[in-house]
Amino acid sequence: MNKRNKWKSGILAATAMVVLLAGCSSGTNGNGNNSGNGDGGDKAVTLRFSWWGGQERHEATLAAIEAYKAIAPNVTIEAEYQGFDGYEQKVKTQLAGGTSADIMQLDVPWMNELSRSDSFLELKDLPGLPLDGFDSAFLDNFGTYNDKLVALPTGVNAYALVINKTAADSLGVPTDIRWDWERLYEEGKKLHEKDSSKFLLLADHGHLMGDFTNMLKQRIGDQWIKDDYTLGFAKEDAVAVLTWMDKAIKAGVYQPLGEADLFYGKTEQNPKWINGDIVMISSMSSTLLSLRNVLSEGTEVTTSLPATALDAKASSVVVRPSQLIAISKKSKHPEEATAFLNWFMNDPEAAAILGDVRSVPSSSKAQQAAVEAGKIDPAITKAVEEGLANAGIVENSISTNSEISAILQDTIEKVAYGRNTPEQGADELIEGLEKKLSELQGRK
């Protein structure tokens, strides 16, 4: 009796559960649709397009998608947009699971890893996608992986000095000169001596590392770590660069690293920058909008070419795509996706709608149209034009390796905090790099 009751109630509970489940799953399934419902043919086609961005990029891209309806009425573009947080993980998971959007916005640093699995459509020589508007070296350097062109750059992004012109003028810092390292040192020292709460440059450890490698590359005129996993510099080069840095940090050219590093990865939230106590930041031109946005209204922001030694053997200005766009190899409608991509990248109408929401367009046709439509911020244009005209060595992948960066960071921080002299720092750096490089080579 007891046992039977137990069974009965068990079955009852189980049935109840199943019924509940069935009810809920059919309910939610009703409005859940997977993209592949247009089954071939040239009738109704649904394409998914995913990107990350901020408010302006979302609005402009949605407006462009809306305008595309007039051009290809049979194509519906489903927009999947979000902020930057989590986008990388999401795309990687989607690519692993074969559920990525047909057209997706990607970032350059992810590409080596992502292109290993051959998940993108080869974009070269497609009839519907002329590439003559793009700089071919740019495509080779950033869109081509494993000898296949798999992604197109949406816009050009250049390394520049972002200068708070209003603050610079009131503090007597010149803004119309070409900066070299000695000039930075002198102006910074002068500024800090006059008022110890002011600094010329904002630099967290990431910026310091950038300045270090730039200065080094200008001295040696080559990659600082060569493709064959050997060092491109000698000890005296590293000592010279670190000595300048040590001198600059002690003279108050840079905001102390301890303060600046509190805002690592969110430079624009640094109160000294917001209040105009720091005059400039070396940064990619794409961050200019967010850096300017936090300043009080009416503040003028301009850019300048990053500091370059007078006797530099090579330019170290990094010019890279702001983002890339690729088409999934698994897309059921590659032709429609290509047609949309072509319109999105090359068409004057699209360019006029999109403006500079993905930085200055990299296709010359689109760039011209966007400039004519007055949609491009002059400060950003200036940075990109100067950057392109002085584009320097394209970083090879080994010198941006995360384990290499960790060693460099350690060296820079020890010197910046005064724990190591420049000589000790250079010794440690070379020793650490050589050990790590041989280890990495062994792993290959």
Asked if 320 touches other proteins (CB under 8 A), the answer is: no
Binding letters toward other proteins, positions 262-281, x by CB under 8 A = ---xx-xxxx--xx------
Question: Cβ 297 to other proteins, closest distance in Å?
Answer: 8
Question: Cβ 48 to other proteins, closest distance in Å?
Answer: 8
Per CB under 8 A, contacts with other proteins among 383-422 are: none
Asked if 362 touches other proteins (CB under 8 A), the answer is: no
Q: Which residue has the tokens 């050997």?
A: 230
Closest by CA position to 157, among listed 326, 400, 383, 367: 383
Asked if 57 touches other proteins (CB under 8 A), the answer is: yes
Q: Which is nearer to other proteins, 144 or 287 (CB)?
A: 287
Q: What is the DSSP letter of 286?
A: G
Q: What is the dihedral of CA 18, 20, 22, 24, to 10 degrees?
A: -150
Report the C-alpha gap between 155 and 367 in whole angstroms: 9
SS3 state at 114: helix
Bridge partners (DSSP) of residue 302 are 163
Report the C-alpha gap between 347 and 146 in whole angstroms: 29
Q: Which is nearer to other proteins, 56 or 431 (CB)?
A: 56
Number of residues that bind other proteins (CB under 8 A): 68
Report the C-alpha gap between 40 and 144 in whole angstroms: 29
Question: Cβ 299 to other proteins, closest distance in Å?
Answer: 9
Asked if 88 touches other proteins (CB under 8 A), the answer is: no
Per CB under 8 A, contacts with other proteins among 61-80 are: 62, 78-80
Question: Cβ 68 to other proteins, closest distance in Å?
Answer: 15
Q: Which is nearer to other proteins, 54 or 348 (CB)?
A: 54
Question: Cβ 223 to other proteins, closest distance in Å?
Answer: 27
Q: Which of 167, 216, 295, 437 binds other proteins (CB under 8 A)?
A: 295
**18 C-beta neighbours (distance < 10 Å), count:** 10
Integer angstrom CA distances of residue 88 from 50, 61, 109, 265: 11, 19, 10, 16
Question: Cβ 395 to other proteins, closest distance in Å?
Answer: 19
Asked if 20 touches other proteins (CB under 8 A), the answer is: yes
* CB 138, CB 152: distance < 8 Å: no
Q: Which of 38, 53, 143, 387 binds other proteins (CB under 8 A)?
A: 53
Asked if 284 touches other proteins (CB under 8 A), the answer is: yes
Report the C-alpha gap between 100 and 144 in whole angstroms: 20
* CB 172, CB 198: distance < 8 Å: no
Per CB under 8 A, contacts with other proteins among 108-147 are: none
Report the C-alpha gap between 16 and 12 in whole angstroms: 6
Asked if 13 touches other proteins (CB under 8 A), the answer is: yes
What is the total residue count of the chain?
Answer: 444
Report the C-alpha gap between 154 and 280 in whole angstroms: 27
* Residues of the shown chain interacting with other proteins in the complex, contacts defined by CB under 8 A: 2, 5-6, 8-9, 12-13, 17, 20-21, 24-25, 28-29, 32-34, 48, 50, 52-59, 62, 78-86, 89-90, 93-94, 96-99, 101, 265-266, 268-271, 274-275, 284, 286-287, 289-290, 292-297, 322, 357, 359
